[in-house]
């Protein structure tokens, strides 16, 4: 199974940590039982990563995603609520999320801002059910997330993680992953929506190009574009993007932003973690997370100053500062 080739290469090159690789696997494979999948792939994973101890270390440290529920309603609205959510990483004293309450209504585009380390990616991971809250609840249409079938959630709530990795399969397979049999026309359309079609068609094998054979040739932005195309193709009720524009080129960025805003316009709920003030300004609501707490929340004109800095940010460098694209350090 070549899936892990690319991730393994990155680990070997020191580009990503084993933890990131496993997190990536959890993200991508959560539509079946995660533990089962990890066991299934374990020999390959070991080979790719080169050290079984590291994986066990990670698995010991990380809680497993709870068992899947059974709910899979046909008429999901996509109303997400976080109710007084607390979260601490195992073995760490200080909570990363400290009583976060947040609502995302159907049709709403919400920008989540905050300095590195604020807990934005952790919040996103909780919505993906990669972690369970230490206290508090996450509700989807009024029902706790664990009540839903994993595969259903994965399809309805598409999450583009901060640093998406790709499978060592074709670009077509990467974009249609988890959907079972998307046509080339559908995949191409999704790639066009994020400005990835041009670079893909310039590759010798186009959509059939094996990512593994490209090695590290795809840029961070190109990987991000592929991951966003994958999320859009699922046509989820809720779309969550974590620093998605950080590596995109200008053209892709503009296209992706149009898509995000259009998704909100068509009744989808969108939560975007972004350091781009210009994008946050086009959301319906801006939420500022700092030190694991919601610090400010409101319409962009109340939260953001015309210069893109926050109204009430104190002495810290704010997101904004033009488009510094907030790095992947978080
Ligand atoms: N897997 C992890 N284990 C332990 N601590 C973590 C882990 N991931 C993130 N953290 C810590 O949680 C805090 C919030 O991180 P993160 O959610 O990535 O913030 P942000 O995305 O806002 O930059 C940071 O202090 C970070 O060091
Ligand atoms: Mg982050």
Q: Are 319 and 277 in contact (CB under 8 A)?
A: yes
More confident residue, 219 or 314: 219
Tens-digit pLDDT profile for residues 58-105: 444 444 455 678 899 999 999 999 999 999 988 888 999 999 999 999
Q: Identify the CA nearest to 6 among candidates 214, 229, 220.
A: 214
Q: Ligand 1 in contact with 91 (CB < 6 A)? A: no
From 24, 115, 117, 287, mutation site for ligand 1 pocket: most ligand atoms within 8 A of C-beta: 117
In this prediction, residues 157-178 reach a mean pLDDT of 81
Considering every ligand atom shown, identify the ligand nearest to the alpha carbon of residue 117 and give its number. 1
Which of 32-46, 67-81, 121-135, 237-251 has the least mean pLDDT? 32-46
More confident residue, 278 or 229: 229
Tens-digit pLDDT profile for residues 204-217: 899 999 876 666 67
Q: Ligand 1 in contact with 106 (CB < 6 A)? A: no
**Tokens 């296209």 -> residue:** 255
Considering every ligand atom shown, identify the ligand nearest to the alpha carbon of residue 90 and give its number. 1
Instruction: Give domain 76-330's CATH architecture.
Output: 3-Layer(aba) Sandwich (3.40)
pLDDT of residue 318: 42
Q: Are 51 and 18 in contact (CB under 8 A)?
A: yes
CATH 3.40.50.300 domain range(s) in the chain: 76-330
Q: Ligand 1 in contact with 330 (CB < 6 A)? A: yes
Q: Ligand 1 in contact with 117 (CB < 6 A)? A: yes
The terminus-to-terminus CA distance of the chain in angstroms comes to 31
Q: Ligand 1 in contact with 275 (CB < 6 A)? A: no
pLDDT of residue 74: 93
Q: How confident is the model at residue 272 (pLDDT cuts 50, 70, 90)?
A: very high
pLDDT of residue 135: 96
Q: Are 292 and 96 in contact (CB under 8 A)?
A: yes
pLDDT of residue 330: 32
- Cα of 75 vs centre of ligand 2, distance in Å, is 31
Please list the residues that pair with 210 across neighbouring strands.
170
pLDDT of residue 2: 37
Residue 319 has pLDDT above 70, yes or no: no
High-pLDDT (> 90) share of the chain, %: 43
In this prediction, residues 293-300 reach a mean pLDDT of 94
Residue 20 has pLDDT above 50, yes or no: yes
- Cα of 287 vs centre of ligand 2, distance in Å, is 15
Residue 186 has pLDDT above 60, yes or no: yes
Q: Ligand 1 in contact with 202 (CB < 6 A)? A: no
Tens-digit pLDDT profile for residues 188-200: 999 999 999 999 9
Tens-digit pLDDT profile for residues 131-148: 889 999 999 999 999 899
- Cα of 330 vs centre of ligand 1, distance in Å, is 6
pLDDT of residue 60: 46
Q: Ligand 1 in contact with 161 (CB < 6 A)? A: no
- Cα of 119 vs centre of ligand 1, distance in Å, is 6
DSSP code per residue over 266-318: TT-EEEEE-S-HHHHTTSSEEEEEETTEEEEEE-HHHHB-TTSSBTT-TTSPP
78 contact partners, CB below 8 Å, separation of at least 6: 106, 140, 141, 156, 237, 238, 267, 268, 269
Q: How confident is the model at residue 17 (pLDDT cuts 50, 70, 90)?
A: low
Q: Ligand 1 in contact with 93 (CB < 6 A)? A: no
Residue 241, helix vs strand vs coil: strand
What is the DSSP secondary structure assignment for residue 321, as one 8-state letter? T
Q: Ligand 1 in contact with 58 (CB < 6 A)? A: no
């Amino acid at each position: 199974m070549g899936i892990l080739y690319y991730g393994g290469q990155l680990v070997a090159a020191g580009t990503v940590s084993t933890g990131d690789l496993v997190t990536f696997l959890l993200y991508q494979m959560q539509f079946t039982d995660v533990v089962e999948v990890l066991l299934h792939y374990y020999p390959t994973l070991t080979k790719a990563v080169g050290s079984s101890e590291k994986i066990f270390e990670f698995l010991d440290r990380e809680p497993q995603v709870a068992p899947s529920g059974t709910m899979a309603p046909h008429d999901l609205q996509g109303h997400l609520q976080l109710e007084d959510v607390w979260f601490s990483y195992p073995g760490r004293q200080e909570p990363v999320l400290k009583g976060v309450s947040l609502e995302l209504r159907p049709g709403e585009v919400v920008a989540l801002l905050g300095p590195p380390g604020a807990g934005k990616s952790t919040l996103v991971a909780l919505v993906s059910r990669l972690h369970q809250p230490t206290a508090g609840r996450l509700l989807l249409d009024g029902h706790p997330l664990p009540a839903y079938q994993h595969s259903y959630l994965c399809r309805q709530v598409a999450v583009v993680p901060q640093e998406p990795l790709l499978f060592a399969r074709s670009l077509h397979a990467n974009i249609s992953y988890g959907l079972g049999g998307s046509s080339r026309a559908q995949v191409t359309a999704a790639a066009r929506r994020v400005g990835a079609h041009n670079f893909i068609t310039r590759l010798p094998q186009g959509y059939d190009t094996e990512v593994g054979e490209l090695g590290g040739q795809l840029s961070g932005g190109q990987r991000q574009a592929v991951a966003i195309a994958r999320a859009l193709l699922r046509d989820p009720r809720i779309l969550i993007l974590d620093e998605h524009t950080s590596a995109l080129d200008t053209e892709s960025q503009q296209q992706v932003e149009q898509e995000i805003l259009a998704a909100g316009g068509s009744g989808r709920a969108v939560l975007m973690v972004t350091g781009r003030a210009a994008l946050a300004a086009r959301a319906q609501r801006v939420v500022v997370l700092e030190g694991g707490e919601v610090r400010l929340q409101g319409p962009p004109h109340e939260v953001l100053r015309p210069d893109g800095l926050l109204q009430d940010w104190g002495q810290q460098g704010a997101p904004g500062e033009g488009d510094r694209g907030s790095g992947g350090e978080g």
